[in-house]
Structure 1
Amino acid sequence: MTVTFRVPEELSARVPAERRGQGRERDSVRLLVSRGTEVAHHAFAEFPRLLREGDLLVVNTSPTLAAAVDGRLGDARVVVHFSTRGDDGRWAVELREPDGRGSTRVRAGTRAGREVRLAGGARLVPEEPLDAGSPRLWWARVSREVPGLLREHGRPIRYAYTERDQPLSAYQTVFALPSRDGSGSAEMPSAGRPFTGRTVAELVSRGVWFAPVRLDTGVASGEVHEPPYPERFEVPEASARLIRAVRSGGGRVVAVGTTAVRAVESAAGPDGVVRARAGWTDLVVTPERGVRVVDGLLTGLHEPEASHLLMLEAVAGREAVGRGYEEALRGRYLWHEFGDVHLMLPSWPLPKTPDPPHCSSNTP
Structure 2
Amino acid sequence: MKTLQFRVTGDLEAHEPPEARGLTRSGVRLLVGDGAEVSHRRFEELPDILRPGDVLVVNTSATMPAAVPVVGADLALHFSTESPGGLWLVELRAVAEKATKPYTGGVVGLRLALPGGGAATLVQPYSRGRLWVASIYPGRFGSVLEYLEVFGAPIRYGYVSRPWPLRYYQTVFGTEPGSAEMPSASRPFTDRVVTRLVSAGVQFAPVLLHTGVASPEAHERPYPERFQVADTTARVVNTARAAGGRVVAVGTTAVRALESAADEDGVVRAASGWTDLIVTPERGVLAVDGLLTGFHEPEASHVDMLVAVAGEELLAQCYQEALAERYLWHEFGDVNLLLR
1:248 Cα deviation from its structure 2 partner = 1.0
**Structure 1: gaps (5+ residues):** 347-364
Match of 2:166 among 157, 165, 168: 168
Q: State the shift of 1:120 in Å.
A: 1.1
**Are positions 1:65 and 2:59 aligned together?**
no
Following superposition of structure 1 onto structure 2, how do residues 331-346 of structure 1 map, counting pairs within 5 Å? 331-346=325-340
The 1-side partners of 2:316 and 2:150 are apart by: 44
Q: 1:350 is matched with which residue? A: none
Report the Cα distance in structure 1 between the residues aligned to 2:78 and 2:36, rounded to whole angstroms.
39
Q: Distance in 1 between matches of 2:304 and 2:210?
A: 20
Work out the CA distance in 2 between the residues paired with 1:204 and 1:248: 20
Q: What is the letter of the counterpart of residue 6 of structure 1?
A: R
Question: Is the contact made by 1:37 and 1:324 (CA closer than 8 Å) also made in structure 2?
Answer: no
Structure 1 residue aligned with 2:31: 32
Amino acid at match of 1:157: I
CA contact (8 A) 1:253 1:296 kept: yes
Where do 1:110-259 residues align within 5 Å? 110-131=106-127, 134-144=128-138, 145-178=143-176, 183-259=177-253
Offset of residue 270 of structure 1: 1.4
What residue number does 1:47 align with?
Answer: 46
Q: Which amino acid aligns with 2:102?
A: V
1:81 aligned residue: 78
260, 269, 273: which is aligned to 2:267? 273
CA contact (8 A) 2:99 2:161 kept: no
Residues of 1 paired with 2:137 and 2:7: CA distance? 43
Which ranges in structure 2 are unaligned for 5 or more consecutive residues?
none
How far 1:7 moved relative to its partner?
2.1
Alpha-carbon distance in 2 for matches of 1:44, 1:122: 42
* SS of match in other structure, 1:116: strand
1:22-43: CA deviations, max 9, x gaps?
xx31001000000133210001
Assess if the C-alpha contact under 8 Å between 1:7 and 1:329 holds in 2: no
Q: CA deviation at 1:5?
A: 2.1
Return the offset for 1:303. 1.2
Correspondence list, 1:274-289, <5 A: 274-289=268-283
Q: Which amino acid aligns with 1:70?
A: P
Structure 1 CA distance for aligned equivalents of residues 113 and 318 of structure 2: 46
Give the match for residue 19 of structure 1.
Answer: 20
| 326, 333, 340: which one aligns with 2:320 | 326
1:76 CA drift (Å): 2.6
For 1:108 and 1:7, locate their aligned partners in 2 and report how far apart those are by CA, in whole Å.
Answer: 25
TM-score normalized by the length of structure 1: 0.90
Give the drift of 1:18.
1.0
Q: Which residue in 2 is equivalent to 1:105?
A: 101
Residue identity matched to 1:340: D
* Alignment equivalent of 2:300, drawn from 297, 303, 306: 306
Per-residue CA shift, 1:127-171, capped at 9, x if unaligned? 01224xx22111111112211110000000010001211100000
Q: Is the CA contact 1:95–1:107 (under 8 Å) kept in the aligned structure 2?
A: yes
% same residue: 57
Separation (CA, whole Å) in 2 of partners of 1:80 and 1:327: 37
Deviation (angstroms), 1:228: 0.9
1:195 deviates by 0.3
Kindly indicate whether residue 254 of structure 2 is the aligned counterpart of residue 260 of structure 1.
yes
Residues paired across the two proteins, number: 335
Normalised to the residue count of structure 2, the TM-score between the two structures is: 0.96
One-letter identity of the residue aligned with 1:105 = K
RMSD, matched Cα: 1.1
CA separation in 2, counterparts of 1:122 and 1:215?
27
Deviation at 1:249, TM superposition (A): 1.0
